[in-house]
Structure 1
Amino acid sequence: MTSTSIKIAAALAIAGAAGATFLFAGRKPAPATPPPAPVKSAPVATPAPRTDAAPLMSGIQALLANYRKIIVLLADEKSMPANERDQAQRVGQNLFHENQSRAESLERDLAALLASTQPNRFDAVSELLGFIESDKSLYDADRLAFRELLQGLLAEVAKDSSLPAIKIHKRLSEDLDALAEIERNYEKEIRQVFGRYESRAIELKRERWDTYLAYLKTLYTRDTILKEQGVVMPYPASALPPEPKAKAEPDPNEIFGNSLPKKTVVLTFDDGPHKRYSEEIAAILKQYGVPAVFFSVGRNLGSVDAAGKATLSEGAAVSRKLKAGGYTLANHSYTHAQLSKETGDKLKAEILNTDVLLKAIDAGRSPLFRFPYGARNSEGMHALQGAHLRSVMWNIDSLDWADPVPASIAERVLRTVDKEGRGIILFHDIHARTVKALPAVLDRLIAEGYQFAGWDGANFTSANTAAAPAEKVAVSTGYANSWAIVIGIDSYPKWPKLQYAVRDAQGVRETLIGKFGFAAERVVSLNNAEATRAGILGAFHDRLAHGGVQKNDRIFVFFAGHGATRKLSSGRDLGYIVPYDSDPAQFATDAIPMSEIQNIAESLTAKHALFVMDACYSGLGLTRGGGAGAGAFLRDNARRIGRQMLTAGGADQLVSDGGPNGHSVFTWTLLQGLAGKGDLNGDGLITATELAAYVAPAVAGVSNQTPAFGSLPGSEGGDFVFELPVEAEFLNPQTAQLSTEAIALNAKLDAVRPDAPKSDDKPGVTPPTAPVAVKDLQGKEQKLVTPLAVPSSARQLAQRANDRGLQLFKEKQYAAAEAEFTEALKLRADFALAANNLGFVYYKQGKFAEAARWFDNTVKMDPSRAVAYRNLGDAHVQAGDVAKAKLAFKTFLELAPASPGAVYVKQQMDKL
């Protein structure tokens, strides 16, 4: 079976997932073979390259044996007594670390072989791949044991540009693709095996995984594996007479996860540094702004001679980068030995050699130590005390060393965190699967309001920065890339000139890029003479149809200019958009009919496309309107193609150009909707349906336009989605507010909305949205029903309340803004951003004592927030407390001496 055959086999297994048997279930299992003898760690010296495959085959077969044993040890983990589970995990970790040493030895052998000049050096690699791809004794699940080995081999082969190397590289790439398919196939089943599910009324069937597990149990039993590793489990305690137990006193030199504050976690990564994955993990942590501790194995950093002199290796460079990134370096012994079995000088060397190496990397290394496997004894604890080190245990085990599926790892961690409520999480920075699982864990923990504690030199403490990562549209909405074509035409040579179309287009472009994260290079702008018929069609065909748009992308199209409608001989109306070079006398031939836009929309490969036309016409044809109404909206929506259009009005209606800030009324309302008013159900997402349900009634209520909305041919009911980014602005005197004209129009728009908030509505609680009457694209009335809200955590609800408060503040609706900021603090008591913003609302209303209290609360929650000290100083000045004002201003200048506000603060201090 070739590497392509693996892909076919995996695909067949996926196709048969519903009630199908395991791919190899009909084949008689291979006869059991005795497990191989334990393999010692390979020496560091690089062996002479060999071109025969026998040593490599022996190594990967031993690798597979340990992989299978680990699965047998932990397969029934949820039903084991606690002491047996602990022993199984410890022995499993021993087997895992044997495999790590074995894999490193294999990687060195393969690297030496590929670096040699032997003409037949690829024969051994080909034989090894043949075993992994097609050996009859292997199940698909077995092949996952070799994934990281193949990834390393791929990197080595890539260094060789010869034709045989290119062929092997292609073959390896295909094999890794196949392994990814196998992982996806087993994801659900392995989650169940490793997941510690509670009992349910219906027992799920897992024929394929159970078949594989049953085969493994013909080779090994848990008792045999444990006994091989020196463990014999005693009879259950219930069968023996009880013995009195002395209450163990906690060791002050040891840190446990259950001593942390509620909803606080510490991220720890063992066994590195790793040349590939440590830096990838650090990059993810940096993106989310969370701290972590990396427990390093000394031999990965270098060596220590008899005189105690350290010689650093390449691994030390990785650790230096981790330290420079702000992460804590810690000690995980020198060889990862089981220190509870070591004594004397050997035990001390395991601890002190790594300490010497860490000090060579960073003299201020942390005093943290983690016993390998958590196995410690009194002598080991005494040795730590003598070295001024502290033991760090864990209470949340990701089992990423045993579980081959990232989704299962993430699920286990999240479920255990939910159960424990706090803790130290154990990961390993030596696995690709940990890299994949980590973002899912961080997304959920941040959404649930967990704090991430870092080492401050004495304890694990949280900075309470509440620093959620910048929200990316792709994370929640499922889009890969975002594309846009934005067109504005004012200066028509042969049509009446318009006043605000180009400014409308520029405002939409700025919103797409600045607020919703559209990449500037994927936003095509055509203004005035650029927006000819050929230019517009070329943008669609060249930049979108042939410019790299993929099936999971989204496309937003905005047109501001003239529209026209022509009645056909059949009596049907046909709408047109008018390009810059159109002639009114022959617009039927040189304008762009909406039927052509429909054809373009159907031909695009993107998941969702939304056309917004600030022009008036009809005759577009509606297939169906509205979006999904299910609770699992995002998941269901991602499965359906969406092609939608929102127009400014119907045939023979003039666009109202007199909106604020040089915009038409329609585009101003559209921009207000995208600013957050279009989020009718309050879940932080604005669908095209919600946007139309906000814009259409509001525009119709303040102008002579009746906007229309509907789906174009080819749509399958998918709904275009915008995700509102988190607003992080701390209100201050420089915060811009809307003009009087804009505030007046917004008041009118809000007043005519059918779902406008009423006086008895509670802040932070979005009332149910009733169906909204909107014209469809043929001018007939339809009812739009907005999707049900996506479930939100308390943290997310607090953020949305803050965002609404910010919007209300900019409209000078201070009482309503105060209520929203208060709601945010009710949902999240330590929300420094909302505390500052509430204080500033009081300040704007002349309530300076109240303002000072909330600014003071802000700096207690977040002592590093300079702007809050400036606000506090201003409030104390207005309240007449000069001494406190000077102290607040002084702290501001210490935190932000070069900020734009520093000049103002110095001037204020000079006056005091």
Structure 2
Amino acid sequence: MKLSKPLVIGVAIVAAAAAGAAYLKTGAKPHGTPAPVAAVAANPADAGNAHAPLQAEMRSMLANYRKIIVLLADEQSLSELDRKAAGQVGQVLFHENVERIGKARQLLAKLQEAPAAQRDAAYDILLTYIESAPDLFDADRLAFREVLVEMKQQAAANQTLPGIKLHKRVSEDLAALEDIERQYDKELSGIFARFDQRAIVPKRERWEDYVDHLKKLFTRDQIMKDYGVIVPYPNKPGPDDAAKEIFGKSLPPKTVVLTFDDGPHATYTDEVAAILKQYGVTGVFFQVGKNLGEVDAQGKEALSKKQAAASRRLLEGGNVLANHSYSHALLSKEKGDQLYGEIAQADQLLKAVDTRRSALFRFPYGAHNAEGLEILNKLGLRSVMWNIDSLDWADPVPTSIANRVLGSLEKEKRGIILFHDIHERTIKTLPLVLDKLVADGYSFATWDGNDFTITKPGKPEPDKVAISTGYANSYAVVIGINDYQKWPKLQYAVQDAKAIRDTLVNRFGFDNSRVFTLTNGDATRNNILALFHDKLAEAKLKKDDRIFVFFAGHGATRQLSSGRSLGYIIPVDSDPQQVSVDAIPMTDLQNIAESLDAKHLLFVMDACYSGLGLTRGGGTTAFLRDNARRIGRQMLTAGGADQMVADGGPNGHSVFTWTLLQALGGKADLNGDGMITATELAAYVAPAVSSVSQQTPAFGSLPGSEGGEFVFQLPAEAEFLSENSAQLSQEAIALNKKLDTGRSSQAEGNAVVVKNLQGEEQKIAAPKPVDASSRQLAQRANDRGLQLYKEKQYAQAEAAFTEALKYRPDFGLAANNLGFVYFKQDKYAEAARWFENTIQMDASRAIAYLNLGDARQRQGDQEKAKKAYASFLELAPNHPSAGYAREQLKKLG
């Protein structure tokens, strides 16, 4: 395929690497005098490990090169947000490879100092890998051009026979790369018959096949997420950040601004300036401070004479000098003195070059934070972005770069164009672009202090009204009996009751004084009835109150003379021979329910029996409004007559109560509206329990109910995941997986078939979702991620936290939690990026510093780990993990 197609903007990181060699601005010549190079037949066994460090760098270059291709493949089909984010991450990958080229150059120089046999064998291993590794595509080999160029320079300095042979071999390999690049541009027609078997033998793969292969290795979203970037869902523009920056979309029609980043370069900057002069146009050059010189600890600047002279020549030619930070760091990750220094020190050096420097600034990668914009404001600087990205940092083919710029301008009709004056290909591209723009009558704008128009910011989306269940007071009756006097003893009922009580109080905000509890010997018939008749009567219930009743114990069913079945709950003092006298019939519960002056009442009975006719329950489309007006009396039971309660659940619970607890933890929010209705509770619990036991839970509305629904409003989870975050046992995780699978297998959409107490089937469905804001949707996704994390479903948890950040990009809680999911999978670099994102979003969150310290320590970066632990202790000296942080600091010295 032709390289000019958008698909191939990243075809050769080699070109980016070539730019990187210039960008580092250190001497490109090899250090020392090259030692003789052996013939290519040197024994690879003699290489030892001399080749290993360089080959490791080459593999890392290749990985980044491939990721850039995946990021920018099909660029024209991406949304503007996706293109911007992909470009930002791509530039980070590019600058990582810039650094790797520098390391490779040093390693090649070091290789010259190795013993002759070892050095020569290492060269052979490296070249054989480039030429004929079976896992490399032709396009992959383009990633190693800069390494080959450096080898060729070393060989050229050595006129011995081995050096000449090495020079010939590397030259042939470089020629093969040139042909591979040309052949892709010409649809790979022709055969490279002139190369012998030791050099690169092109396979003539189709470009689409290569890209398809890379897409199996990487996905665009995952690459960006690994580098701390998630593209949010489309939304209205945020608050007035846009007002603080300059864009190109509001320029007059057919007007462009030419901008060049990352210089000054000792050679290419002057060449760019000469081309601009030839066409009678000027540009804005955003320069990196460290390329101009340095600022010492006392704040004194020292300029590089050569680089400073190049910048002054730009000014003399009518061009504009502007600030591109001191070290080209990702400033959205920086804060405080470090962030201030990146901006201020570069400005200091630019002023030292010439006081006529402009007050313009461009954030590296276009990435910034609110603090960075505020610093610009304090320093009197203005941020300049772009709307036409040439992608000359990724695309090695000048015609492809030119076509991209011109194609973008055809749509935009105006804009600020981003180039880089550190690439040879930019020199070749500029005339192609300028010829066309001049012919089409474009104007070229420059900065005169206040000439660029600012785009007006949009208004942020207002939060919608929070969902509310409309209850006044919440009451509960919780009963659990293990130690029956005359019935078989149970193992888990008391534990079940305690867990339900804790859930009501700690999760759903029931007042502790309004949760009436009876266990074991206290749960007599008289005491149970007294709770309903006396305690609840004394409470003076109001019409907007709710009552939740939970019973864990024995149940029984008796056949009446009429043939009808009647169900009972069994108090601790009941006699199996006197059930009709000292047990509590379900009809009594029905009468109690009708007599209580509360809006909604829900019985949940972890006991098995039959004998109470229930009516079908369900929701309406205007659920919240209608539900506030309707009386609700509902019941959910663990099973039917003659069924045994399964007591084998995790953590000392019955299977039914364990499932109920998972449902109340959020799994029963089947329509994702942040609420759990009694119907949803039944729709999750009943099929899940029946799928793993012999029980068939039943659900329905008691006679007298008007169709109202008991509703639990899920609280917003606020847990910042850390090493102290609890996860479920393997037993619990295994059961939950079975429960979820069983429930899903019986569901038809959001509806399931559930039995009533008469054994009849009824289809029940959850209410439809209500309208929710992005903030609410983000919170729900985060909450879902926490559930998945507890079950160690890391891939699904990662997806949920990602979803939360798509709805709300500044959601520090979800950012930390996403980072910790990476941490649990031993992806420490990715974890650190998201912990840093968290700190940037909310610097007061101490736990994020602790997590960052752990991630940096696992990476082996002791200094950054120490800094993170120290920040954690400054913010939270009395935190339960403070002792741990101090211990880590002590270990790190």
TM-score normalized with structure 1 length: 0.47
Greater relative CO, 1 or 2 (CA 8 Å, sep 6+): 2
TM-score normalized with structure 2 length: 0.48
Larger radius of gyration: 2
